[in-house]
């Protein structure tokens, strides 16, 4: 074996190790959405007996708490560990994810499960943010984007394979079994990271306060806002897709994993298409993407009573939302100046604010008695709001370009 091929092999093993962890993150974040009825029945038996819809809405809080953990953990952890060796940081994050997901398996009450879900979300954004830097360093100049994409592949594959299989397992054996599998995946990731990810000294010159200077850039806030609110439209549907399938379309529970496979495929394809379109025209991809998301959510709401059309438009929701994901990531890094690492983590904060917002508002309209179609209409409103924020961002940027001193929101050089 040549030295060059040996180096390439080592890089692939390092990237695979990181991708195993991203697979686990995708599974732990999304598998609960297909298991909400099972979680509600187990953890809220009294409420379930009297009002199953209200019990499901209550269980939706677990989704919001995970997302809140991501929002808080991404900038604080990424900023705090920027100066430490990255391979050790990644190992610590993988171990934390192992422990916190194991807590979900064994927590006996709704309140303790809620705490475990919040804790599980804390390392999420930092794992992807620091992992992206590790992947870029492993691949070297000219191949950095490929390295980052390979790590993110674990997340997309989780939506195609891990989430549907975890949902099926949870339905057959019990919802806790799905999280036991997740904890095992993170344990495997920790082992492979310890063995295969090369040492990296980190950036000893970076401080927590220096990293947080990204929040002084006004356009960063607008980019985060468009992603957080606009993506809430997708999560308003994704959070309650299981009861939409069983209660509105009248399909059996075994069809839920099949629809989730379709959504995962839509996410995978959409991510690839969105990256290509963003390279061609970032502004049109973002603005057009939010309009397309609002349109497909409207079609889903209007046709949800039929399982075939529901599956088609759920695929569409996955496709369009994931098409937007790399575009918003690019926009955020475009306006973040020198703070690329924390910007990468903040993207996941924005997406999980959308996760929390969509799940909370979707649960609110269900609890109000408006039924399981209502979250799709909530999604339409959120997608259009995301479009509005993105349009304002680009409008301010154009104005600032014409009169550079007119706006404090102008992107820093």
- pLDDT digit of tens for each residue in the chain (413 aa)? 334 444 667 778 888 999 999 999 999 988 988 898 899 999 999 999 998 888 888 898 898 899 889 888 988 888 788 778 888 999 999 999 999 999 999 999 999 999 999 999 999 988 987 887 787 777 766 555 556 667 777 887 887 888 889 988 998 999 999 999 999 999 999 999 999 998 877 666 666 777 777 788 888 899 989 988 998 898 898 888 888 998 898 888 888 888 888 888 888 888 778 877 877 888 899 999 999 999 999 999 999 889 999 999 999 999 998 888 878 877 877 787 766 667 767 877 888 788 778 888 988 899 888 888 999 999 999 999 999 999 999 999 888 777 655 444 544 43
Residues 147, 26 share a domain: yes
Residues 25, 144 share a domain: yes
Residues 331, 202 share a domain: no
Residues 161, 271 share a domain: no
Domain finish residue from 206, 222, 245: 206
Domain finish residue from 158, 190, 206: 206
Domain finish residue from 165, 188, 206: 206
Residues 373, 263 share a domain: yes
**Predicted pLDDT of residue 407:** 45
Count: domains in the chain: 2
Residues 309, 180 share a domain: no
Residues 132, 42 share a domain: yes
**Predicted pLDDT of residue 389:** 95
CATH code of the domain covering residue 47? 1.20.1250.20
Residues 339, 198 share a domain: no
Residues 160, 110 share a domain: yes
SS3 label, residue 305:
coil
Burial 348-377 (b: 16+ CB within 10 A, else e): bbbbbbbbbbbbbbbbebbbeeeebbbbbb
N- to C-terminal Cα distance for the chain?
A: 46
Residues 218, 150 share a domain: no
Domain that holds residue 334: 213-413
**Predicted pLDDT of residue 346:** 80
Residues 223, 165 share a domain: no
């Amino acid at each position: 074996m040549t030295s060059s091929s040996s180096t390439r092999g080592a890089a692939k093993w390092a990237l695979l190790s990181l991708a195993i962890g991203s697979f686990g993150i995708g599974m732990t974040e999304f598998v609960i959405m297909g298991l909400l009825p099972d979680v509600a029945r187990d953890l809220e038996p009294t409420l379930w007996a009297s009002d199953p819809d209200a019990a499901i809405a209550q269980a939706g809080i677990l989704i919001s708490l995970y997302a809140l953990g991501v929002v808080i953990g991404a900038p604080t952890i990424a900023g705090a560990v920027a100066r430490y060796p990255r391979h050790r940081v990644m190992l610590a994050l993988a171990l934390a994810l192992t422990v916190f997901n194991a807590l979900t398996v064994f927590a006996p009450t709704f309140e303790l499960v809620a705490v475990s879900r919040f804790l599980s979300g804390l390392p999420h954004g930092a794992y992807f943010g620091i992992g992206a830097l590790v992947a870029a360093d492993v691949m070297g100049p000219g191949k950095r984007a490929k390295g980052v994409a390979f790590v993110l592949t674990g997340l997309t594959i989780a939506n195609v394979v891990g989430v549907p299989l975890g949902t099926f397992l949870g339905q057959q054996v019990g919802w806790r079994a799905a999280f036991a599998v997740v904890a095992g995946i993170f344990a495997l990731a920790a082992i492979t990271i310890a063995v295969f990810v090369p040492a990296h000294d980190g950036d000893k010159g970076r401080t927590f306060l220096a990293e947080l200077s990204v929040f002084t850039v006004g356009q960063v806030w607008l980019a985060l806002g468009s992603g957080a609110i606009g993506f809430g439209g997708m999560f308003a549907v994704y959070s309650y897709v299981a009861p939409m399938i069983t209660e509105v379309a009248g399909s059996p529970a075994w069809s839920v994993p099949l629809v989730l496979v379709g959504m995962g495929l839509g996410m995978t394809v959409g991510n690839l298409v969105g990256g290509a379109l963003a390279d061609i025209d970032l502004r049109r991809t973002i603005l057009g993407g939010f309009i397309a998301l609002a349109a497909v959510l409207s079609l889903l709401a209007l046709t949800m009573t039929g399982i075939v059309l529901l599956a088609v438009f759920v695929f569409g929701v996955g496709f369009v939302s994931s098409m937007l994901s790399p575009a918003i990531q690019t926009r955020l890094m475009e306006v973040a100046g020198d703070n690329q690492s924390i910007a990468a983590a903040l993207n996941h904060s924005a997406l999980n604010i959308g996760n929390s917002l969509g799940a909370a508002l979707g649960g609110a309209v269900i609890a109000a008695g408006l039924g399981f179609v209502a979250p799709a209409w909530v999604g339409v409103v959120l997608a259009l709001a995301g479009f509005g924020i993105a349009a304002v961002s680009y409008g301010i940027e154009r104005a600032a370009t014409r009169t550079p001193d007119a706006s404090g929101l102008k992107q820093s050089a």
